[in-house]
Amino acid sequence: MTMWNEAPMNSIAWRTLEWGDKAGGQYANPKYNRPTVSISQPTDYQEWAVMTYETIQATASVSGGTISECVCKVTTQFGYTYDGNWITMSLSGGKYTASWYSGSVTGYLLVSVRAKSNNGIYGYHQHVVYVPPI
């Protein structure tokens, strides 16, 4: 059995496993802890309105390290992203906060929050929201 610090694992595989996967994979490396992320707003299956700014709020922490980045994005049930990319969340009072404009999108949306530790490991949390048609 190949151990984490033994050959033949190449540096690219090591880096992928150690740093996690930005696209959503949650690799576990025994050397570092994965951040714990918890979305407090919106609640799961909360209803949002069209043409409004919605607040996304979360907490993130990691044992044995610090959070270096916390971002969020909103996607449709088909995987389309309406904001174009991840939105950087600001930290205030121990909570990370961002604002997202719903525009004219309707249906079920997936709110994702991703936190990155100072060791490069990612943690995720997701909630579903519903935007009814006008």
Q: Considering the domain boundaries, does residue 12 fall inside one?
A: no
How many independent structural domains does the chain possess? 1
Q: Is the pTM of this model over 0.85?
A: no
Whether 13 is covered by a domain: the verdict is no
- CATH number for the domain harbouring residue 67: 2.60.40.10
Residue 62 lies in a domain: yes
On whether residue 70 sits in a domain, the answer given is: yes
- Judged against a pLDDT cut of 70, whether residue 2 lies above it is answered with no
Instruction: Say what the pLDDT of residue 4 is.
Output: 39
| Per-residue pLDDT reduced to its tens digit, 3-57 | 333 433 433 433 333 444 554 444 555 678 899 999 999 999 999 999 999 999 9
User: What does the H/E/C string look like for the chain?
Assistant: CCCCCCCCCCHHHHHHHHHCCCCCCCCCCCCCCCCEEEEEECCCCEECCCCCEEEEEEEEECCCCCEEEEEEEEEECCCCECCCCCEECEEECCEEEEEEECCCCCEEEEEEEEEEECCCCEEEEEEEEEECCC
